[in-house]
Amino acid sequence: MSRQIEGIFFDDIGSFPLPKGVRLESLSRDQYLNLVRDVLAQKSRAGVEVPTYPQFRDMISMFMDCIENPALTQSPYLIKKEHANIMELEAVPPGGDVRVCVTGPVELYISVFGATHYPDILNNLAKSVSRFMDVALEEEKMTVASLDEPSLGLNSNIIFSEDEILDALQIASAPCLGIDCEVHLHSPLYAEACARVPGISIVGIESAAHPDYLQLIDKKVLEDTDSYLRAGIARTDILSMSARLNEQLGINLWQDMPRLEREILELESPQVMRKRLDRAYALFGDRLRATGPDCGLGSWPSQDLAGRILANCAKAVRSFRQDYTNGLATKA
């Protein structure tokens, strides 16, 4: 089993820009895996302690293409364990200590079935997700697991009951008991419910772009369920940020990329990120387990800018730890 990380750790959500001019469809398998290795190295150099394999592929199709293939399944939407492999992990050596993100069963379900109610299919998808997790653990490459469920609390097409959703998440996260397992949410509405799932130990909240989300999480619920929080300290919604900057400055920053980068890096400086981390720690204390950017960086205009945002996160985390060691950080 992968080692447990002590204290607050810095990870990222996953997606990352492609190099300029590179198209996935033009890459051979070996070229693609070399690209994954390169980006993992970039993330590590930026200071990410538990990097996620870069999600260059679509978060739905990278799993559903296998799950929907009759040759790879034992029943509808239930993949055979021997085929529950994540290609990107081939670029990671054993003991590589990465964060493995698997699209959650609810997200997979609504991508195919929308506003329908087939609990048996949801359960099969949950078992398939569980098998992807199980194989990643057996390969000894996963330090942190994550279920990606961005639609929970947002998408009106989800018509399952809360109990049905939590049952599916429990099935999906079952292999992760004993290691750090996150659920990545875009809404806080299911945060406390997810905290009750035994296999989920960390609830991820996009608190950089939405600082009010932290007020919707009850620290006592985390304590009672022995679960933790992942607080976002870097905004990743670059389109929203740039739109507001364009309005304020009266220009189109996308026509002046060097200035766009300067403005974004000033907006998302290490000092700004540190203040967000301080606030999360003041509210949750030792229930704060992980931090990093709100979401993925795949929509960002360059790998360089994405890497510099991660580096700013690293500076904020190092500054926080230094003050925590010296007794200067404010605990809840």
pLDDT digits (tens, 9 = 90+) for 136-188: 999 998 999 999 999 999 999 999 999 999 999 999 999 999 999 999 999 99
Residue 194 forms part of a structural domain: yes
Q: How many residues does the chain have?
A: 332
Residue 4 forms part of a structural domain: no
Residue 241 forms part of a structural domain: yes
- Using one digit for the tens of pLDDT, what is the confidence trace for 278-330? 999 999 999 999 999 999 999 999 999 999 999 999 999 999 999 877 666 55
- Domain of 42, CATH number, reads 3.20.20.210
Amino acid at 245: L
From CA 162, how far away is CA 191, in angstroms rounded?
12
* Average pLDDT of every residue of the chain: 94
Asked if pLDDT for residue 2 goes beyond 50, the answer is no
In terms of Cβ atoms closer than 10 Å to its own Cβ (0-12, 13-18, 19+), residue 79 is buried
Asked if pLDDT for residue 5 goes beyond 80, the answer is no
Residue 272 forms part of a structural domain: yes
Asked if pLDDT for residue 69 goes beyond 60, the answer is yes
Chain centre distance of CA 143? 14
Q: What's residue 4's pLDDT?
A: 37
Residue 1 forms part of a structural domain: no
Give the 3-state secondary structure of residue 103.
strand
What global pTM score does this model have?
0.93
Half-sphere exposure at residue 176, Cβ-oriented, CA atoms within 13 angstroms: 31
**Domains identified in the chain, total number:** 1
Helix (H) or strand (E) holding 170: helix 162-173
**Which domain range does residue 14 map to?**
9-325
Q: Is 127 left (phi over 0), alpha (psi -120 to 50) or beta?
A: alpha
Residue 332 forms part of a structural domain: no
Q: What's residue 95's pLDDT?
A: 78
Q: What's residue 262's pLDDT?
A: 96
Using pLDDT thresholds of 50, 70 and 90, give the confidence band for residue 1.
Answer: very low
